[in-house]
Structure 1
Amino acid sequence: MLVAVMFLALLAMVLINVPIAVALAISAVIGLVATEGVSSLVTVGLDMYDGATKFSLIAIPMFVLAGAIMNATGITRRLINFVSALIGFVRGGLAMINIGVSLFFAEISGSAVADVAALGSILIPEMKKRGYSAPFSAAVTSSAASLAIIIPPSIPMILYAVSAETSVEQLFVAGFVPGLLGGLGLMTVAYVFARRYDFPVEGVFEASRLKTTFLEALPTFALPVIILGGIFGGLVTATEAAGLAVIAAILIGLYYREVDLGQLRRAMLDGGMQTAVVMLLVAASVLMGGFLTRAQLPQELAAAILDFTSNKYVILLLLNIFFLIIGFFLHSAAAIILVVPIIVPLIQQAGIDPIHFGLVVTLNLAIGQQTPPVASVLITACSIARANIWEVSKVNVYFVAVLLGVLILCTYVPAVPMMLVDLFYR
């Protein structure tokens, strides 16, 4: 009964636009006071502080900062020029460039919203100038950004690893193959659109231009080598790789001698606010997680579902449907922090690998970033393109179908996400 009251209080506060982190903390305090008395509030501040200062979480602001430095030092522009020279000769090549650069950029920023804001502001206006419709431009940019969060590094993966007490590095490795498969799928859909609507070709393939742009962008390629090579090789943790990515981005920016201080300042402020929102959610989730654990709710939920079925693939189907639904209404960080601690006992008892499940959760929430009413990434893309969200959604449904296909493949063919994990870690 108490849990039901807490949930209703949480829902009511969210509906009147109380920030989710604040609503979550208040609901947890209500539960603690009701069950353990006012004396239980003595350690609330310390518990929240400890929860928000875990070592793994330091990676979040570091990856966001690395992405901000990339945009302010000309790294992103040189990367776009290289990808344009590489695949711009294909019909609809600018859409392909959009997807390819997004997948690369996500390897540094780890954030879909940062990805779409940074790249969309450059590529969407250019696509519109070249004859691409605003809804198509927004849809391809938005979907590519959300898919990119399953490629390491990924802020949602970091949050899941902390919530589920599992390995960040193994999650990063698990996302690599599905991310590349999804990128190829998005490019295929973009090519079909390009053929149907006669989108332009950016130019003929020129080996000399490819060589020139490659040499200009060559220092940029050090970033994924540092991040992925360090993590895959077991040389650094995800958090240490994030710090190295910042240092490398600064050094590359100094090499290019092209720094937009105004843009860097804006990006750092935006990244700081984004990080603060996530950390406050994490801190509030510590209170709720502690209460739920003592109330045995996760264990009761696991027992109820296992009484219904013990087949792990049926359980995965039910959880996929559940996460797809909550993705309509919650941002990915909030969904992970609210739900994952409750679900973990269930996946443990059902024999589901927590790394495999972490990738499934991340893919579900990537799709949620494309489905209104919340759809944070889609809304950002629509704002940049100045396009109606429903018009964009009519086009975006084909790209979302690719994300769903990757989700189904990763859910029921675990070897796809787990092959590299098994190779490097098991």
Structure 2
Amino acid sequence: MLMAAIFCALLAMICINVPIAVALAMCGVIGLLAVEGTGSLVTIALDMYDGSTKFSLIAIPMFVLAGAIMNAGGITDRLINFVSAIIGFIRGGLAMVNIGVSLFFAEISGSAVADVAAMGSILIPQMKKRGYSKEFSAAVTSSSASLAIIIPPSIPMILYAASANTSVEQLFVAGVVPGLLGAAGLMGVAYAFAKRYDYPVEEAFNLPRVRETFKDALPAFALPVIILGGIFGGFVTATEAAGLAVLAALVVSAWYRNLNLAHLRRAMLDGGIQTAVVMLLVAASVLMGGFLTRAQIPQQLAEAILSVTAQQWAILLILNFFFLIIGFFLHSAAAIILVVPIVIPLISAAGIDPVHFGLVVTLNLAIGQQTPPVASVLITSCSVARANIWAVSKVNIFFVAVLLAVLMLCTYVPTVPMFLVEYFYR
């Protein structure tokens, strides 16, 4: 009864536009007062501080900063030129370039919103200029940007690892294959649209141009090599890789001698705001987590679901549906921080690998970024394209179907995401 009242209060505050972090903190305080009285509030400031200063969370501002430096230093433009030289000859090639560049940029920024802001402002105007509809341009940019939370590094994965007390590095490794599968599927859908609406071919395949753009972009390839090579090889942790990514982005930008300081300053301010929002959510979640732990809500939920079914496939189906619904209304960071601590006891009791489940959660929330009413990534893409969100959603549903297919594959064929984890770590 108490949990239902707290949950209703949380929803009511969110509906009247109370910031989610503030709503979480207020509900956590109310819950603690109801369970243990005023004595439980003595250490809440210290608890919030400790919860938001975990070592793994330092990776978040570092990856955001690396992405900002990469975009301001001209690295993004060189990646676009290289990918365009490789696949620009295919019909609808600029849409393919959009998806391909997202693969590279996702490995630096870890943020889908950052991907849309950086890539969309460059590629969407070019796509519209070449005859692509603004709805299609916004849809392909939005859906491909969600690869930023499937392919490592991923800010939601970092938050999940902190919430579930599991390995960030293993989550990053588990995201590689699903990310590549998602990119291939999105390219297939883009090609089908290009054939149907006769979208243009950018240029004939030219091997000398491929060599030229490859040489120009070669220093930029050091960034994913440093991040993924260091993590896969066990040389650095995810947090250390984030720091190295910032240093490498600065060195590569200096090599190109093309660092736009005004752009960098603006991107750093935006990244600082984004990081502050996430950290405030993390701090507020400590209070809610304390209430849930003392009231034993997670254990009660686990017992209730296990009394209905103990089958892993059925539990995963229930949780998939639950996270898809949550993704409609909450940003990925808020959803992870609010929900994951509640369901982890259920995952443990059902014998589900927490790394596998972390990838399932991340995929669900990637889809949530594409589904109104919240749809943070979709809204950002529509804003850049100046397109109606509902018109874009009619096109985007085909790209979302690809992400759903990858979700189902990874949920029920765990070998797909986990075989690299098994190879490197177990």
Calculate the TM-score normalised by the size of structure 2: 0.99
> Residue type matched to 1:389 in 2?
I
2:226 alignment counterpart: 226
Question: Where do 5+ consecutive residues of structure 2 fail to align?
Answer: none
Give distance in 2, aligned partners of 1:161 and 1:27.
24
Percent identity for Structure 1 against Structure 2: 79
In the alignment, does 2:180 pair up with 1:173?
Answer: no
Q: Which residue of 1 aligns with 2:129?
A: 129
Which residue of structure 1 lines up, in the alignment, with residue 145 of structure 2? 145
Counterpart CA distance in 1 for 2:160 and 2:32 is 24
Deviates more, 1:164-173 or 1:11-20: 11-20
1:98 aligns with 2:98: yes
Q: Which residue of 1 aligns with 2:328?
A: 328
Q: Distance in 1 between matches of 2:24 and 2:340?
A: 14
Are the counterparts in 1 of residues 113 and 377 from structure 2 also a CA contact under 8 Å? Answer: yes
Partner of 1:118: 118
1:35 Cα deviation (Å)? 2.0
Residue in 2 that maps onto 1:84: 84
Distance, in Å, in 1 between the alignment partners of 2:37 and 2:335 is: 28
2:412 corresponds to: 412
Deviation, structure 1 residue 149: 1.4
**1:10-25 matches, cutoff 5 A:** 10-25=10-25
Distance 1:358 1:107 in 2: 18
Distance in 2 (CA, whole Å) between partners of 1:39 and 1:198 is 68
Whether contact under 8 Å (1:360, 1:411) holds in the other structure is yes
Cα deviation 1:178-216 (Å, max 9, x = unaligned): 100110000000001111111000110111111111001
How much does 1:287 deviate? 1.0
**How far did residue 96 of structure 1 move?**
0.2
1:155 aligns with 2:178: no
How far apart in 1 are the matches of 2:417 and 2:386? 36
Whether contact under 8 Å (2:109, 2:148) holds in the other structure is no
Amino acid at match of 1:375: A
CA–CA separation in structure 1 for the residues paired with 2:79 and 2:178: 23
> Counterpart of 2:399?
399
Q: Distance in 2 between matches of 1:39 and 1:23?
A: 21
Q: Which residue of 1 aligns with 2:296?
A: 296
Post-superposition offset of 1:279: 0.3
The alpha carbon displacement at 1:38 in A equals 1.6
Q: CA deviation at 1:291?
A: 1.2
Deviation, 1:284, is 0.6
Q: Distance in 2 between matches of 1:12 and 1:178?
A: 36
- The gaps in structure 1 that reach 5 residues or longer are none
1:238 maps to 238
Matched to 1:419, the amino acid is F
Aligned residue in 1 for 2:37:
37
Deviation of the 1:8 alpha carbon: 1.8
| Structure 1: distance between partners of 2:341 and 2:108 | 27
Hey, what does 1:387 align to over in structure 2? 387
Give, in whole Å, the separation in 2 of the partners of 1:52 and 1:22: 15
> What is the deviation of 1:2?
2.0
For residue 55 of structure 2, what is the aligned residue in structure 1?
55
The aligned residue for residue 280 of structure 2 is: 280
Instruction: Give the equivalent residue in structure 1 for 2:189.
Output: 189
**What secondary structure does 1:371 align onto?**
coil
**Could you say what the CA RMSD is over the residues aligned between the two structures, in angstroms?**
0.6
State how far apart, in whole Å, the 2-side matches of 1:216 and 1:386 are. 33
Partner Cα separation in structure 2 for residue 323 and residue 220 of structure 1: 36
Whether the 8 Å CA contact 2:324–2:368 is kept in 1: the answer is yes
Residue pair 2:35, 2:295 contacting (<8 A) in 1 also? no
| Secondary structure at 2:42 match in 1 | helix
| Contact 1:147–1:403 (8 Å) recurs in 2 | no
Distance (whole Å) between structure 1 residues aligned to residue 87 and residue 5 of structure 2: 56
Q: Which residue of 2 aligns with 1:214?
A: 214
The answer on whether the counterparts of 1:106 and 1:153 sit within 8 Å (CA) in structure 2 is yes
Equivalent position amino acid for 1:291 in 2: F
Aligned to 1:328, the other structure's residue is in SS state helix
Superposed displacement of residue 34, structure 1: 1.9
Give every structure 1 segment of 4 or more consecutive aligned residues whose post-TM-superposition deviation is greater than 6 Å.
Answer: none
Aligned residues: 426
CA distance in 2, matches of 1:270, 1:16: 25
For the Cα contact (< 8 Å) 2:316–2:411, is it kept in 1?
yes
Question: Is this contact kept in 1: 2:35–2:291, CA < 8 A?
Answer: no
Q: CA deviation at 1:12?
A: 1.4
Residue 355 of structure 1 pairs with residue 371 of structure 2: no
Q: Which moved more, 1:286-295 or 1:94-103?
A: 286-295
C-alpha separation in 2, matches of 1:2 and 1:417: 38
CA distance in 1, matches of 2:215, 2:401: 37
Taking the aligned partners of 2:374 and 2:44, their CA distance within structure 1 comes to 30
Deviations 1:74-93 (A, max 9, x none): 00001100000011011100
Report the CA distance between 1:33 and its aligned residue.
1.5
Per-residue CA shift, 1:117-145, capped at 9, x if unaligned?
10000000000000000000000000000
Compute the TM-score of the two structures, normalised by the length of structure 1.
Answer: 0.99
Q: Are 1:99 and 1:141, in contact at CA under 8 Å, matched by a contact in 2?
A: yes
User: Which one-letter code corresponds to 1:105 in the other structure?
Assistant: F
Instruction: Report if the CA contact (8 A) 1:95-1:137 is conserved.
Output: yes
CA distance, structure 1, for counterparts of residue 111 and residue 356 of structure 2: 20
SS at match of 1:101: helix
- Could you tell me which residue of structure 1 aligns to residue 373 of structure 2? 373
Letter in 2 for 1:307: S
Q: Measure, in 2, the Cα distance between the counterparts of 1:148 and 1:50.
A: 28
The code of the aligned residue for 1:313 comes to W
Contact in 1 for aligned 2:59/2:240 (Cα 8 Å): yes
> Are 2:368 and 2:375, in contact at CA under 8 Å, matched by a contact in 1?
yes
